[in-house]
Amino acid sequence: MSKEGTIYRISGPVVTAIGMTASMFDIVRVGDEGLMGEVIELHGEKAIIQVYEDTSGIRPGEPVTNTGDTLSVSLGPGLLTEIYDGIQRPLATLEEIMGVFITRGVDADGINMEKIWTFEATAAEGDRVESGQVIGSVQETDTIAHKIMVPPGKGGVITSIKSGDFNVSETICTLDDGTQLQMLQKWPVRSPRPFRQKYAPDTPLVTGMRILDFLFPLAKGGAAGIPGPFGSGKTVTQQSLAKYSDAQIVVYIGCGERGNEMTEVLAEFPHLIDPNTGQPLMNRTVMIANTSNMPVAAREASVYTGITIAEYFRDMGYDVALMADSTSRWAEAMREISSRLEEMPGEEGYPAYLSSRLAEFYERAGRVETLDGGDGSITVIGAVSPPGGDISEPVSQGTLRIVKVFWGLDAGLARQRHFPAINWLNSYSLYPQSLNQWFRDNVAQDFPEIRTEISGLLQIEAELQEIVQLVGSDALPVDQQLTLEVARMIREYFLQQNGFHDIDAYSGVEQQYKMAKAILTFQENAKKAMAAGGLLEDIVNVPARTTLMRSRFEKGYLDRIDGLVEDMNKEIAAAVENN
């Protein structure tokens, strides 16, 4: 047996090779063109390989060469601002080599090996360094300092280290055992990177979207699922999260999405401006674009490539937000490969190991103590595209069993032009208890109680709507009519948010609290006014209430809101006196 074998059988992206020594997950080169593949099964002397490129035209008898490596990503300065395919080939470099359509058998380094970076050493000769310890940094973009770490498994006393200008493959540091360290690291994508310990989630990822932060918060290091039918706003929601959330690094995986949708993201992202720094958002973003017409096996790899890059930035002590759009297409790739392998199908043809693969991916999220002693986190937000919007299908159900936040998109709300179209009745978050203390300390002591009241009003409205559809709202008692009016205010003033408006697209947590408080103040004063003989119609139509709701589109709203609420209270009191 040798490292060389031959093709015995081909079934789409799955190739069987014979006469070759191989281990699980070895990377091989298939056929005369040297297509990249990975060993996924071994049966005696037969090695089953999933090929990451198009296999049309290759024939049995062509050679297969085992490289002995596993599927790994290159990690180092140059990752940010880059757009990769599923196996970390930079798309800009591929375009230079082959034009707009990707042909086969073309290799490209994940990181530019020639580019010179200015390395600033923070460790010194004679220092003892351990795995994962930071020894220096490179200012990779205007906003992000790229920390250079000792690779996991290495360590010792530094015998030489120098600041200066280097490319990623030049030696910058030597240890006493002769180990030479470069800025470049390689890491196998299927192995999670090590850390010291995982923390309990107690800090929210502030997204600036009112319905998410206020009603269904997500913790840093948590995992969320966004299932929704076509056109309900998954991609726009994820783009808003990428732009406005308080994560420092964004990793966006376009996994098997339609080409035109991915093109939109790729065209739009480089022009988005980071509201926190005024710099392009791409300065802190890594994108992986693997469209639905690209080879199906690379779609499966793209998710692991993305999470490994995210773990690398987490190890530097950054908070990373990873967007996977969409995990359904990844599951479809697994289903196709599984059927080619003639495995026993599970529900709806998905492989029996679907849930364990989903768990394997989402469990790599978390807020951790890094090997260097700092704090870093990966928050995973996975979009799910269930066929026909039916979330009882296996991918949605498998995701919901793992994630603790469910933001359920609703096609009905999208048709009504209510965006974000997140259904407040069937969405949920299991983090509020862990996060309540943070909100009490950083926003207001009664924040959790205000959230509970707002949720309760929405629930009551849902129950009253069933009666309204039968007999009309005029038949309800006046106090219930007020409840419907307050709930409408919650929906139109608080939950609806224009993701494309310069000001309304982002609401800080303090502003969210004050807006919710304003709604409850209106309810309280309206009840008092009605008890004193005021008419509901007069109270609801006070001009100051309309001004309060419309002014959220204007600059400086947070500073003005208290004054606007005061004006509203005075006008409600005046409405009673006029009666």
| Helix (H), strand (E), coil (C) string for 153-176 | CCCEEEEEECCEEECCCCCCEEEC
- Report the pLDDT value the prediction gives residue 129, as an integer from 0 to 100: 94
Name the β-bridge partners of 288.
84, 253
Residue 101 lies in a domain: no
Read off the CATH number of the domain in which 532 is found.
1.10.1140.10
Q: Are residues 176 and 230 in the same domain?
A: no
Q: How many CA atoms lie within 13 A of 129 on its CB side?
A: 33
Q: Which two tokens stand for residue 556?
A: 């400086």
Q: Which H helix or E strand runs over 76? A: none
C-beta atoms surrounding 281 within 10 Å: 23
Answer positive or negative: Cα dihedral of 270, 310, 438, 430.
positive
Please tell me the distance from the alpha carbon of residue 33 to that of residue 82, in angstroms, as a whole number. Answer: 27
Q: Which residue has the tokens 């055992």?
A: 177
Neighbours of 280 (CB within 10 A): 18
- The CA R_g of the chain, rounded to the nearest whole Å, is 27
CB-CB contact of 545 with 568 (8 Å)? yes
Is 322 a member of any domain?
yes
User: For the segment 380-437, what is each residue's pLDDT rounded down to a tens digit?
Assistant: 999 998 888 888 999 999 999 999 999 999 988 988 989 899 999 999 999 999 999 9
Distance separating alpha carbons of residues 527 and 533, to the nearest angstrom: 10
455 in Cβ contact with 520 (< 8 Å): no
Whether 151 and 55 map to the same domain: the answer is no
Residues 387 and 247 in one domain: yes
387 and 466 inside one domain: no
Phi, psi at residue 541, to the nearest 5°?
A: -95, 15
Residues of the chain with pLDDT under 50: none
DSSP state of 336: H
State residue 579's pLDDT score: 64
Q: State the pTM of this model.
A: 0.93
Residues 306 and 173 in one domain: no
Is 413 inside a domain boundary? Answer: yes
Tell me the CATH number at 130. 2.40.50.100
Nearest by Cα to 297 from 325, 329, 322: 329
**In terms of domains, do 330 and 232 share one?**
yes
CATH code for position 10: 2.40.30.20
Is residue 105 in some structural domain?
Answer: no
pLDDT attached to residue 108: 85
Q: Are residues 482 and 557 in the same domain?
A: yes
Q: Is position 442 within any domain?
A: no
What lies within 8 Å, CB to CB, of 24 at 6+ separation is: 39, 40, 42
| pLDDT confidence of residue 315 | 96
CA nearest to 253, candidates 321, 337, 181, 169: 321
In a domain, 488, yes or no: yes
In a domain, 152, yes or no: yes
The answer to whether 226 and 389 are in contact (CB under 8 A) is no
- Residues forming a β-bridge with 254: 289, 325
Handedness of CA 189, 195, 200, 205 (dihedral sign): negative
Write the pLDDT tens digit of every residue in 457-497.
Answer: 999 999 998 888 888 888 888 999 999 999 999 999 999 99
The first and second tokens of residue 326, run together, are 């969409």
Length of the chain: 579
- Total domains, the chain: 4
CA dist 573 and 532 (Å) reads 10
Q: In terms of domains, do 55 and 144 share one?
A: no
**280 plus 358 within the same structural domain:** yes
Q: Are 47 and 16 in contact (CB under 8 A)?
A: yes
Cα distance between residue 366 and residue 284, in whole Å = 20
Domain range for 260: 197-422
Cα separation values, 57 from 11, 12, 33, 138, 577, Å? 12, 11, 10, 45, 86
- On whether residue 274 sits in a domain, the answer given is yes
The DSSP secondary-structure symbol of 316 reads T
Cα separation, 73 vs 549, in Å, equals: 49
Claim to verify: residue 407 and residue 276 sit in the same structural domain = yes
On whether both 239 and 339 belong to a single domain, the answer is yes
What pLDDT is attached to residue 576? 80
Q: Strand 4-11 relative to strand 197-198: parallel, antiparallel, unpaired? A: unpaired
d(CA 312, CA 428): 30
Q: How far apart are the first and last CA of the chain?
A: 98
Nearest to 522 by CA among 502, 553, 544: 544
The helix or strand, by DSSP H or E, that contains position 149, with its residue range, turns out to be strand 145-149
Other residues' Cβ atoms within 10 Å of the Cβ of residue 370: 23
Same structural domain for residues 241 and 269? yes
For 108, list phi and psi in degrees, rounded to 5: -150, 140
